[in-house]
Chains A and B, each alone.
Chain A
Amino acid sequence: MKNHVLRPLFVVVAIVVGILITRTLLVPGDFGVYERGYMYGWHRKSSEADWKAFRVKYKTAKVCVECHKDKYDDIKNSPHAPISCENCHGPSYEHPNDPLGLSIDRSRGLCIRCHAYLPYKDSARGKIPGIDPEKHYPQAVCIMCHYPHDPTKANPKHQKPEVKS
């Protein structure tokens, strides 16, 4: 065949080879069809390991009880027993190494998540003791009077509140 016919053919072949080389360089080696088939399982396999390596922040009460048995028993024998420690004390991360102490949410906003009264009588919310946050001591923090680990008791820390003038 004559040269002027072959030349554009070489160009086309070179382009195709170029595309294929770039593709193999860019697409990760473990990209393929996995367990869920072509439609749902076409992905980079190592992405699963990436997600598995994501850092766990909430370590659950199993970790808390190892050192804070007294506080754990305190709350487990009260109506607040089902509440996870970390809901109020914050995620434990690597505590006590990092962070040394946890930032406890002592705010009114935390308590009224459940204890702001809502008039939905047939829902579980209607059965929780509730207050009207705008009328029930709106300036006070709940824990000034109530002991969060056992709401049936008054807060021992605040039985005689010191009034600062």
Chain B
Amino acid sequence: MMNRREFCKKAMIVAGGLVIPLTALEVFNPRRLHAEKGGKSKVRWVFLVDIHKCVGCGFCVKACKIENEVAWDANVTRTWVERYVVTKDGQVNIDSPKGCRDGFTSQKIDQASVGLKEIKPEDIAKGFFVPKLCNHCDNPPCVQVCPVGATYQTQEGVVLVDRTWCIGCGYCVMGCPYGVRYFHPELHVAEKCTLCYHRLCKGMKTACVDACPFGARQVGNIRDPGDPVTKIITTQQVNVLKEEFGTKPQVFYLGLSMEVK
């Protein structure tokens, strides 16, 4: 028989043993330690959108779809442009037919199954266009939720998907607060903007930046103080989308209006 004193002693040892986290028993790995200290990469790609300059032509969406072999007619796109039409009574009308692949050519607001909504020009308080794409967040929630390590962030800050490793569970599609992820209609793996990683690594700009005739889209390296994009971000009034989610998005907007979600 065990007496009370002995029982208490053994219970303490067991409880103490349970408290030791498994990580404390892990073998020390210097490479991992270095990695978690955030090795200072010389390049960190960021994106800058100037809403004042965007006219909603959709050349960026067209170029992105062709450059990145995104299904042309399927209802998926890596980048898109939203139109915001605010009427004088405060109503906000938002649409993005086909993600603005063919540009905004009609004054009517596309309300999907409801149909087209006409707004009289004299009722319009303001109308503007907001290009959207993956924010390549510093804290990407889509990467955190991947159960197999198929999506990851490179040292340059670009969030990519390993097509050979993705199991198609869709956690990342659900996890992204910006809705930039979708399923590849043929490969059935998660897809997203790669920030034209294949172009950036060759010293080129992204396809959407090259296609924009108005300079509404720019890509730059935030670690380079001489980069014109870095200068704008550090000296002008820029904003990001959904800051409250704590994702630290790296797509910055000039002229972002409060109606934009």
Contacts and interface: CB of A to CB of B under 8 A. Distances in A.
A and B: bona fide binding partners: yes
Interface of A: 31, 33-44, 47-48, 50-58, 60, 82-84, 86-87, 90-91, 109, 112-114, 116, 118-120, 122-125, 128, 133
A36 B154 contact: yes
Interface of B: 31-32, 35-36, 38-39, 41, 52-59, 62-63, 66-68, 85, 102-107, 121, 124, 126-129, 139-140, 143-144, 149-155, 160, 162-165, 194, 197-199, 201-202, 204, 207, 210-211, 213-216
Contact of A43 (B58, B149, B199): B149
A120 B214 contact: no
A124 B106 contact: no
A55 B207 CA distance: 12
Given A38-B35, A44-B162, A114-B103, A51 B197 contact: yes
Nearest 4 A/B pairs, CB to CB: A120-B127, A113-B103, A43-B152, A35-B155
Contacts, number: 165
Given A122-B126, A123-B129, A128-B55, A84 B211 contact: yes
B144, B151, B153, B202 — most chain A CB neighbours (10 Å): B153
A132 to B, nearest CB: 9
Nearest to A87: B59
Contacts of B32: 33, 37-38
A102 to B, nearest CB: 12
A41 B35 contact: yes
Contacts of A124: 52-55, 214, 216
Nearest to A42: B149
A28 B114 CA distance: 50
A112 B103 contact: yes
Contacts of B154: 35-36, 48
B39, B149, B164, B215 — most chain A CB neighbours (10 Å): B149
Given A39-B144, A113-B59, A128-B55, A48 B160 contact: yes
Contacts of B199: 56
A52 B158 CA distance: 12
Given A40-B140, A43-B149, A55-B198, 17 more contacts: A34-B155, A39-B143, A42-B149, A43-B151, A47-B164, A48-B154, A51-B160, A51-B198, A52-B198, A58-B210, A60-B204, A84-B59, A113-B104, A114-B57, A119-B121, A122-B127, A123-B54
B201 A56 contact: no
Given A124-B54, A125-B129, A47 B207 contact: no
